[in-house]
Structure 1
Amino acid sequence: MGNPRTPGQRLEHAQRDEEIVRLRADGVPPRDIAARYGVTESRVSQIWTKALRSMPARGLDERKAEAEQFYETMISTLVPLLRDPSVPAGTKAKISDSINKWSVSRAELWGLNAAKRREVEIITASTIDKAINELTGEIEAKAQHDQIMAELAELDRRDH
């Protein structure tokens, strides 16, 4: 589609971007969204990331809670299938791919892939406490993600 030049094109892009964000929030994989709208997966990710950055903090906290609940449900449902020797390797590969994509989405939501800040900030005790709490959450999320990815890799090695 390129850069929108007319007001009509800008409106179309805005409507498309809004729909892309809604679909990502509903858990539709970026590949499916990209194919549907004729854009790249990278563009879908850019639109999603921009939307996340523009969310008010309260909305983001609610979204994080919903995403965490979904992620936990997905993991508790899918990981046992990966461990089940009766599940075909192709199905396991699809499950592994889905978990990986959700892990990337989760990392985006938590800001684990955010760019480094380049500004000076005054450090206070409350700033440090807040940063420690945020880092603790990020470390726990990263550790869980790494553990799941290691289990997936191990299961994949067993299947091949």
Structure 2
Amino acid sequence: MPERTPEQAARRARVVELRRARLSWFEIGDELGVSRQRARQLYDAALAEAPVAQVEEHRAEEQLLADDVTCELLALGRDPSIPARTRVEAYAVACRWAERKAQLLGLNAPATSRVQLITESDIDAEIARLTAELTQRPQD
């Protein structure tokens, strides 16, 4: 792990602090004078250097944030006093948060499959085995 300057370490710590305060990536970027993408990169880098227990704590907090935001967005989507277009947009954003939560929990991980390859020689061997079994049976 490369050495961090005190300024870099402080910046990463600040990103984590702001995210734990439930600020958006845009808000964190504004606070630090960077883009939202850079704010996210700094956060990911900070988590990569954090002990596992702290990462699990952050993961739990992100899950709570996703739950809270999704609930608020769904409430907007159900509110008949809000214009239909805004309600549809609220549902669309809620879907993105649900995708984020699934990603966070590892639910999008590819399913593992076990595949058995059957070759022509395997088929020939099975035919020979069955033929031998049939010829060895006593006739009724």
TM-score (norm 2): 0.55
Instruction: Give the conservation status (yes or no) of the 8 Å contact 2:70–2:98.
Output: no
Aligned residue in 1 for 2:107: 139
Q: 1:25 and 1:43, CA in 2 relative to 1: closer, same or farther beyond 3 A?
A: same
AA aligned opposite 1:51: A
Aligned residue in 2 for 1:132: none
Instruction: Give the conservation status (yes or no) of the 8 Å contact 1:29–1:101.
Output: no
Q: 1:82 and 1:32, CA in 2 relative to 1: closer, same or farther beyond 3 A?
A: same
Whole-angstrom CA distance in 1 between matches of 2:93 and 2:21? 14
- Partner-residue secondary structure (3-state), 1:139: coil
Aligned residue in 2 for 1:153: none
**Equivalent residues, number:** 106
Aligned residue in 2 for 1:82: 77
Q: Which aligned pairs between 1:1-160 and structure 2 lie closer than 5 A?
A: 10-88=5-83, 92=87, 95=90, 99=94, 106=101, 110=104, 137-139=105-107
Aligned residue in 1 for 2:122: none
Deviations 1:78-128 (A, max 9, x none): 3121122212468658856875775676577x3xxxxxxxxxxxxxxxxxx
Q: Which has the larger radius of gyration?
A: 2
Identity, in percent, stands at 27
Whole-angstrom CA distance in 2 between matches of 1:23 and 1:64? 15
AA aligned opposite 2:38: R
Kindly report the root-mean-square deviation, in angstroms, between the aligned alpha carbons of the 2 structures.
3.5
Whole-angstrom CA distance in 2 between matches of 1:87 and 1:100? 19
Instruction: Give the conservation status (yes or no) of the 8 Å contact 1:30–1:45.
Output: yes
AA aligned opposite 2:26: R
AA aligned opposite 2:107: I
TM-score (norm 1): 0.49
Instruction: Give the conservation status (yes or no) of the 8 Å contact 2:76–2:82.
Output: yes
Out of 47-56 and 64-73, give the one that drifted further.
Answer: 64-73
Greater relative CO, 1 or 2 (CA 8 Å, sep 6+): 1
- Partner-residue secondary structure (3-state), 1:27: coil
Shift in Å, 1:19 = 1.0
Q: Higher helix fraction: Structure 1 or Structure 2?
A: 1
Q: 1:11 and 1:138, CA in 2 relative to 1: closer, same or farther beyond 3 A?
A: closer
